[in-house]
Amino acid sequence: MQTRKLGRSNLEVSAIGLGCMRMSFGDRPIGDRQEMIGVIRAAVERGVTFFDTAEVYGPFTNEELVGEALEPYNGEVVIATKFGFKHDGGKGPSPTTGLDSRPEQIKRVADASLKRLRVDAIDLFYQHRVDPEVPIEDVAGAVKDLIERGKVRHFGLSEAGAETIRRAHAVQPVTAIQSEYSLWWLEPENEVLPACEELGIGFVPFSPLGKGFLTGAIDESTTFDSSDIRSRIPRFSPEARKVNLSLVEMIRRIADRKGVTPAQIALAWLLARKPWIVPIPGSRTIERLEENLKAAEIELSSDDLNEIDGSLSKITIQGDRYPEIFKQMTGR
């Protein structure tokens, strides 16, 4: 597996990481714990050194899963986790309970995450969502203190805008920004990616396969269980999917020509954008894991990239990327 450095930091990770959220958290059916531990360890054996989790996933259970799976590899892998949601009556943090990035809360989360992850220091500690009630300078200052105390190694932000990134970076250098970015969500290209390039910050795309849409496995006739968040996402409505399939058809044409899968083209495209971009697709089977990792071996020619860019300029994606309740938590 090739490696990449996240921006100008000294944090070097595999070119493709592993998003672990859906292994124990989410609307769709989740995996058996021991099977998921096996997938995580299989990823390490195949060269993956970058794993993503968060306190809110579960809550807590995903960090515990990742901690158990990766304990034998302490010092060999990089684990990223996140803080930033309120705790509800001892039940833990949840996106429905709102945001909380007060410095005292950040430090409490850090101590608890260290125990669940079974590590001496958190490699990369993201603010999960920007909290409008807490100045970003206070957030950055709290993480800076944790870094100085040896509890955290690197600071990150998730779904933050360019101005917020600059303000945070002035207090404590930001190592990575994690935001949604894929062939059907290009918004980071407007301001966030240029800011990352200027400041020397790495970028970690989540949902790099568009919650499965870019794999080509979903069409307008696909049905989603009511427990599946995609049943509530506007761009996954049957009408939107019918229009949005033109994007998948373009990806499939290139994939067929190269003898690879649409998912591999979608990931290879992200890798080709910048050398400091590291996508974190979620994989819950070894088959999907291996398929995704092989994307790092695919070279897209300038003709391929021009074809993709030309097609993207003619395609208008239909539907919002989140239902209204989640859109409220993607502030800048």
**Nearest residue to 168 (alpha-carbon basis) of 181, 179, 155, 178:** 155
What backbone torsions phi and psi does residue 319 show, to the nearest 5 degrees? 95, 145
Q: How would you label 229-262 residue by residue, b for 16+ Cβ within 10 Å and e otherwise?
A: ebebbebbbeebbebbbebbebbbebbeebebbb
DSSP string, 130-189: --TTS-HHHHHHHHHHHHHTTSEEEEEEES--HHHHHHHHHHS-EEEEEEE-BTTB-GGG
Longest CA–CA separation in the chain, Å? 56
- 103 alpha carbon, distance to own chain's centre: 24
Nearest Cα neighbor of 237 from 213, 252, 220, 251 is: 220
214: left (phi over 0), alpha (psi -120 to 50) or beta: alpha
C-alpha to C-alpha distance for 154 and 80, rounded to whole angstroms: 9
- 296 touches 265 (CB < 8 A): no
Q: Is residue 322 flagged as an active site residue?
A: no
Angle at 292 between CA 29 and CA 205, to 5 degrees: 80
Residues marked as catalytic: 57
